[in-house]
Amino acid sequence: MADDKKPPRRERDGERQTGLVLDERTRTKKPPMYKVLLHNDDYTTREFVVWVLQTVFHKNENDAVAIMSHVHNHGIGIAGVYTFEVAETKVTKTLHLAKAQQFPLQLSIEPTD
């Protein structure tokens, strides 16, 4: 027969309505995500930590103050959750900004569960 290929099937309910049927992996596999953790210290100012959370981690002022206070009170807290490359970039930027002002601020990256 000249042309016995099946046409692409229509999307099922719940699939993205792109007009294309995506490969199963393309639709379902999410990248691993990583927490950027902020560590408390006695020297970095609260103002600097709030500013970093707003400028590098794109938190609004209320959330930035809440995260900074949590870290100050509990010793550690989550600045944000990102793919590994984005998490690394935010840590590098923050460390450069902190060192420029001689603050000993420390951060770490940890996989989400």
Cα separation, 18 vs 15, in Å, equals: 9
User: In the numeric block, which tokens belong to residue 81?
Assistant: 């959750």
In whole angstroms, how far apart are CA 1 and each of 4, 5, 6, 9, 15?
Answer: 6, 10, 13, 21, 33
- Choices 11-19, 34-42, 53-61, 88-96 (CB under 6 A): range interacting with ligand TYC: 34-42
Binding-site size, ligand TYC (CB under 6 A): 13
Q: What's the rounded Cα separation, in Å, for the pair 66 and 49?
A: 11
SS3 84: helix
**Contact map string, positions 73 to 112, toward ligand TYC, x by CB under 6 A:** --------------------------------x-------
Binding span for ligand TYC by CB under 6 A among 4-12, 18-26, 44-52, 81-89: 44-52
Single out the residue of 45, 60, 92, 108 in contact with ligand TYC (rule: CB under 6 A): 45
Distance between CA 5 and CA 21 in Å, rounded? Answer: 16
Q: Is 72 in the site for ligand TYC (CB under 6 A)?
A: yes
Least distance in angstroms from the C-beta of 58 to ligand TYC: 17
Pairing label, strands 76-82, 106-111: unpaired
Q: Where on the chain is the footprint of ligand TYC (CB under 6 A)?
A: 38-42, 44-46, 49, 68, 71-72, 105
